[in-house]
Structure 1
Amino acid sequence: MGTFQIEGGHQLQGKIQPQGAKNEALQILCAVLLTSEEVIINNIPDIIDVNKLISLLENLGVKIQKLGKGSYSFKSNELNLDYLQSEQFKKDGSGLRGSIMIVGPLLARFGKGYIPKPGGDKIGRRRLDTHFEGFINLGASFRYNKEERFYGVEAPNGLKGKYMLLEEASVTGTANIVMAAVMAEGTTTIYNAACEPYLQQLCKMLNSMGAKISGVGSNLLVIEGVTELGGCEHTILPDMIEIGSWIGLAAMTKSEITITNVNWEMLGLIPTTFKKLGITIERRGDDIFIPAHNNGYEVQSFIDGSIMNISDAPWPGFTPDLLSIILVVATQARGSVLIHQKMFESRLFFVDKLIDMGAKIILCDPHRATVIGHDFHSTLKATTMTSPDIRAGISLLIAALSAKGTSTIHNIEQIDRGYEDIEARLKSIGAKIERVD
């Protein structure tokens, strides 16, 4: 188990470039299974979760060639479908939640797809019903082996387009259904579809491969099925979750940081939400400039004077992946704020570690926490802690970088799952952080 030792309390300065978007990469990589032709993908982040999926695709028979940093060529013309029934696949697939998205492409192209119950973050229940109900709507049969925790869908006679209203706007569920529907016979209409930038990027890539998807960017997608798809070249967006993480880092450490090449048009409410905490965010071309907040930052209140409430919601609402960052940043704000995590019931359980560091937080229930900011009158105290998941892990790292003294964070593999070469990149802007095995 890896460990970070962090000497906090130092101001940072410099430029940092966000990696490619993890959540987009997991979808885009699965889409290479839809064609036998070459697909080139650029700006792939070098992180554990993505590398696990690349390894799984290679075991499935995808021919993979690294073209340069973050750029790969994929060719799925000779797949080994027997791998899907192997013990190795059960092991590989169960260790990565994103592996669920190989089912849609395999079902579309080969009439069958299998997956062990996938793992991932321990942030509460994350149902797979949306995925499989969508496949059933398209005409697939479904089975679940409870003893082996193994899912299977089959459509030996092919898939047929259908209208469906999704019970929830699941991002991965929508992606999986879209990838299955692009080669279904007839027209598929998906209402209450997710419309996150990751999903928009997937649809744009599929259209460049020959798919016919309209309504991209809305919650109503219409897909006219085609018989086959071709190759393409696609570039992954910068990771908006990492961008939000660096905004939070700059504020908490009173640092002057420039985040480069952020693709502003795809950031949604992220800049606006951080501004509600009083953080100054300047747009300079396609960069974000955060000045040093030497006088702190003050939480806004609502027009009627009531306490600020920041909550997550499906896109274009504020992404749940950044609520833990918002919560940490609020611990040193001037004023109070209610954080409401609506989508996952266990994501706020890391606040006990912040309370140990001296933060004033009231955990109201599994979904809500009230934060009373210190306004930097008292800094967080260095401590020893363990990272429970990716987003809580980076939040604790930010807290440690702001705390005076030396903190220790164990189980940093969780952070490595979502953040590329993080200690080297933080060191480049002046952070004092060391990785200890």
Structure 2
Amino acid sequence: MLKLYTVSVSLPLPLPQTHKIKTPKPQTLTITGPTTLSGHLPISGSKNSSLPLLAATLLCSNSSLLHNVPTNLTDTNAMLSILRSLGAKVEVDIGSGQILVNTDSVRSVEPCLEEMTKTRGGFFVIGPLLTRFGEAVVGLPGGCDIGERPVDLYIRGFRALGAVAELRDGKMFAYAANGRGLVGGTFHLDFPSVGATETLMMAACMADGVTRLSNVAKEPEVIDLARFLNDSGACVYGAGTDKLLIKGKCHLHGSEYVVPPDRIEAGTFMLAAAITRSCISMSPIIPSHLACLIDKLKIAGCRITQFNHDTLEVSAMPSNVGDHMQGFDIKTGPFPGFPTDLQPPTMALLTTCRGSNIVEESVFEKRMSHARELQKLGADIRVCGSTALVSGGEKGSALHGSRLVAADLRGGVSLVLAGLAAEGTTEIDGIAHIDRGYENLDTKLQLLGADIKRLIR
């Protein structure tokens, strides 16, 4: 079982004045490199935990208060708009990362279709709506085009809980077959999908009877959601293993919860230290959530030191890694395997490492579009399907600045990391993708010494 992240909080209610996040205009990041980073970095709250936690507030009476939410993300903004479109009352304090949600006034079972197209995370609401109201009509999810993310697991999972579910006109229509509500059932996931696991977990919390789910995802975000649900009165057992048991018919009430640090953001900055041959520290961080990446960076020659329980220093200075950093192979997979979200920035690092290294993507078959953009910087990458051969030769590729386009969130940040290591100026368009999942990325890099600017086009 993974260690859970907790902090003590004592904050007054109600929240300060509500703020709304404005949708950013098209912008460009301009990076001049190569650069050396140094300093300490604060890690934001987890986006991948925040979105299902916000959806779970639909199950709760009264108000739920979430702390450490990454409020300056377009994905978070889209999820809040989805909740409001259903009738929820939402108060946001951007400065402190607090979000207060009251869903007592929710009556609609169909969220705004336009907002649903903006984030994959919006689809989480279908589970809570279906189990609370006995029906739901939800548009198919948007997000990055990184491969097929079919909803058949959701459909078959809902059917196992006594629902009728079908796709029509770009929406999923679901309702309780008995006309009253969901019932407990048994379901085996063909693949340990995080989204399907979390959605079915939420749906089962208010179903009549016991639900058993097997081959479920074991990611930290699943544990996080289970903990929030249990704090709110649910009965979820087995989170962090491949089997879940949920006792339904629970009455859930609002609770107060702290979102843990974002392991993908932390991993991205660890890779930033490595690709720039720098030394930076960061906190808060949960090292066990990034054990796979830490092992690979140690193979490359990085020195990784843990201070206290939540601070990590990554040093890739030449005194640690030598003149040329050693490469390594990766294959993505469900937790505790190598995170698919860290594959693109890791590929960027490998372009600067010695030797020929294999990157195999086993989660999303189209998550290789960043390879073409990295090639524009001079990287030697050959892609065949979902596998890439990254060759750095004896000294690692010498990258040079170029004009690039970010096609998705994690692929976009890989271009930023490569730009930090490249000689000259790199310009990156399409950074709205990056803003979906990285809070103030350019500002944080500036604090570490990077020459990076955001330009409005």
Aligned partners of 1:274 and 1:326 also within 8 Å: no
What is the distance in 1 between the residues matched to 2:85 and 2:182?
26
Q: In the alignment, does 2:235 pair up with 1:212?
A: yes
Q: In the alignment, does 2:382 pair up with 1:354?
A: no
Q: In the alignment, does 2:361 pair up with 1:341?
A: yes
With over 3 angstroms needed to count, the CA separation of the structure-2 counterparts of 1:378 and 1:120, relative to structure 1, is: closer
Q: In the alignment, does 2:389 pair up with 1:370?
A: yes
Aligned partners of 1:299 and 1:337 also within 8 Å: no
2:10 is matched with: none
- The amino acid of 1:172's aligned partner reads G
Q: In the alignment, does 2:225 pair up with 1:198?
A: no
1:39 is matched with: 64
Deviates more, 1:72-81 or 1:372-381: 372-381
Shift of 1:236: 0.9
Shift of 1:276: 3.1
What is the distance in 2 between the residues matched to 1:8 and 1:125?
36
Shift of 1:296: 4.4
2:339 is matched with: 319
Q: Determine which of 388, 393, 417 is the counterpart of 1:398.
A: 417
Shift of 1:354: 1.4
What is the distance in 2 between the residues matched to 1:383 and 1:207?
50
Shift of 1:226: 2.7
2:452 is matched with: 433
Q: Secondary structure at the match of 2:354?
A: coil
Q: Determine which of 291, 294, 311 is the counterpart of 2:315.
A: 291
1:70 is matched with: 97
Q: In the alignment, does 2:444 pair up with 1:417?
A: no
What is the distance in 2 between the residues matched to 1:368 and 1:230?
46
1:232 is matched with: 255
Q: Secondary structure at the match of 1:281?
A: strand
What is the distance in 2 between the residues matched to 1:333 and 1:276?
11
Shift of 1:121: 0.5
Aligned partners of 2:356 and 2:393 also within 8 Å: no
What is the distance in 2 between the residues matched to 1:283 and 1:358?
35
What is the distance in 2 between the residues matched to 1:78 and 1:435?
40
What is the distance in 2 between the residues matched to 1:23 and 1:374?
36
Shift of 1:423: 1.2
Q: Which segments of 5 or more consecutive residues in structure 2 lack a partner in the other structure? A: 1-25
CA RMSD after TM alignment: 1.6
- The amino acid of 2:130's aligned partner reads L
What is the distance in 2 between the residues matched to 1:338 and 1:280?
23
Deviates more, 1:317-326 or 1:268-277: 268-277
Aligned partners of 1:283 and 1:289 also within 8 Å: yes
Q: Secondary structure at the match of 1:267?
A: helix
Aligned partners of 2:333 and 2:340 also within 8 Å: yes
The sequence identity of aligned pairs, in percent, is 33
Shift of 1:126: 0.8
Q: Determine which of 36, 41, 66 is the counterpart of 1:11.
A: 36
What is the distance in 2 between the residues matched to 1:296 and 1:76?
57
TM-score by length of 2: 0.89
1:149 is matched with: 170
With over 3 angstroms needed to count, the CA separation of the structure-2 counterparts of 1:376 and 1:250, relative to structure 1, is: farther
Runs ≥4 in structure 1, deviation > 6 angstroms? none
What is the distance in 2 between the residues matched to 1:162 and 1:122?
33
Shift of 1:263: 1.9
Deviates more, 1:320-329 or 1:385-394: 320-329
Q: Secondary structure at the match of 2:303?
A: coil
Aligned partners of 2:301 and 2:326 also within 8 Å: yes
Q: Secondary structure at the match of 1:130?
A: helix
1:108 is matched with: 131
What is the distance in 1 between the residues matched to 2:262 and 2:117?
25
Q: In the alignment, does 2:106 pair up with 1:79?
A: yes
1:303 is matched with: none
- The amino acid of 2:64's aligned partner reads V
Aligned partners of 2:66 and 2:258 also within 8 Å: yes
2:285 is matched with: 262
Aligned partners of 1:324 and 1:391 also within 8 Å: yes
- The amino acid of 1:357's aligned partner reads L
Q: Secondary structure at the match of 2:329?
A: strand
What is the distance in 1 between the residues matched to 2:117 and 2:175?
20
Aligned partners of 1:277 and 1:330 also within 8 Å: no
What is the distance in 1 between the residues matched to 2:400 and 2:272?
16
1:305 is matched with: none
Q: Which segments of 5 or more consecutive residues in structure 1 lack a partner in the other structure? A: 301-307
Shift of 1:334: 2.0
Aligned partners of 1:273 and 1:318 also within 8 Å: no
What is the distance in 1 between the residues matched to 2:446 and 2:152?
43
What is the distance in 2 between the residues matched to 1:120 and 1:408?
23
> How many aligned residue pairs are there?
423
Shift of 1:171: 0.2
Deviates more, 1:264-273 or 1:127-136: 264-273
In the TM superposition, what whole-angstrom CA distance separates every residue of 1:56-95 from its partner, at most 9, and x where no partner exists?
112211111225521111110001406x27xxx1212122
Deviates more, 1:54-63 or 1:175-184: 54-63
